[in-house]
């Protein structure tokens, strides 16, 4: 009997992962508004009942996909930062990686275009705050404590930087010029350098 329960649990998790994978693919390819539940379940090879077992509907599936995308970007940012020893270099590498990661078309569509439109700005912002903004605040707090960044309240600075990077990522999502990424990374570097003491 325990083996049966284990097999069912694995099957349920596999169904959930398949729905997330196919949902992400479809949301990225055509956008949230153009995807029907019927298309999602057909692509996943499951019934609508199976989808509703895991998610309340299309919006709940999209929210879970967005969380996965945000976690993916967060892992890339953390990986870039962790590859550096110096805390300042960690901040710069993490911020630059955020800009680069968000230029991937599927990430742009799900995280930056459809995310705020589907979930509303308040919920999207809360999700962003829970993922990347917290790490940015921690990094800036450490730099203020180390004297690398001038003493100041960190929360407004973190929100300003987060907003600037999100806005740059949104702008890059509409840009057709590959040089814009290079120019944006350079501008971000100058913006960050201005925070550094000395």
The HSE-up count of residue 61 (CA atoms within 13 Å, CB side) is: 29
Closest CA to 194 of 161, 146, 159: 161
Quickly state the pLDDT bin for 17 (edges 50, 70, 90).
very high
Going by the DSSP 8-state scheme, the letter that residue 23 receives in this structure is H
CA angle 163, 164, 168 (to 5 degrees): 115
Q: Parse the chain into domains and list their residue ranges.
A: 1-55, 66-194
Residue 133 above 80 pLDDT?
A: no
Q: What percent of the chain has pLDDT over 70?
A: 98
Please tell me the CATH code under which domain 66-194 is placed.
1.10.357.10
- Average pLDDT, integer, range 38-52: 95
Question: How far is residue 169 from each of residues 85, 105, 194, measured CA to CA in Å?
Answer: 26, 11, 20
- Average pLDDT, integer, range 149-154: 96
pTM exceeds 0.75 for this model: yes
Over the range 86-99, which residues count as b (16 or more CB within 10 Å of their CB) and which as e?
A: ebbebbbbbbbbbb
DSSP string, 91-157: HHHHHHHHHHHTTSHHHIIIIIIIHHHHH-HHHHHHHHIIIIIHHHHHHHHHHHHHTSB-S--HHHH
Assigned CATH class of 1-55: mainly alpha
Q: CA 68 to CA 102: how far, in whole Å?
A: 14
Q: What pLDDT sits at residue 3?
A: 67
Q: CA 129 to CA 137: how far, in whole Å?
A: 10
Secondary structure, 3-state, 185-197: HHHHHHHHHCCEC
Residue 2 above 90 pLDDT?
A: no
Q: What pLDDT sits at residue 173?
A: 85
Q: What pLDDT sits at residue 61?
A: 97
- Average pLDDT, integer, range 42-62: 95
Q: What pLDDT sits at residue 117?
A: 94
Q: What pLDDT sits at residue 148?
A: 97
Residue 175: strand, helix, or coil: coil
Residue 57: strand, helix, or coil: coil
- Average pLDDT, integer, range 8-12: 87
């Amino acid at each position: 009997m325990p083996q049966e329960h284990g097999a069912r649990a694995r099957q349920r998790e596999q169904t959930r992962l398949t729905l997330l994978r196919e949902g992400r693919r479809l949301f990225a390819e055509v956008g949230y508004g153009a995807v029907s539940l019927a298309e999602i379940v057909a692509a996943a090879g499951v019934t609508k009942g199976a989808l509703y077992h895991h998610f309340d509907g299309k919006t709940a599936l999209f929210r879970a996909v967005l969380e996965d995308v945000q976690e993916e970007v967060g892992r890339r940012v953390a990986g870039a930062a962790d590859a550096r020893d110096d805390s300042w270099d960690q901040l710069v590498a993490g911020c630059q990686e955020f800009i680069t990661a968000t230029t991937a078309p599927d990430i742009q569509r799900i995280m930056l275009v459809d995310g705020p439109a589907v979930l509303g700005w308040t919920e999207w912002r809360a999700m962003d705050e829970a993922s990347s903004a917290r790490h940015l605040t921690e990094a800036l707090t450490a730099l203020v404590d180390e004297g690398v960044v001038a003493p100041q309240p960190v929360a407004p600075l973190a929100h300003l930087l987060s907003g600037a990077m999100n806005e740059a990522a949104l702008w890059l999502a509409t840009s057709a010029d590959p040089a814009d990424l290079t120019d944006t990374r350079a501008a971000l570097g100058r913006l960050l350098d201005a925070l550094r003491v000395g």
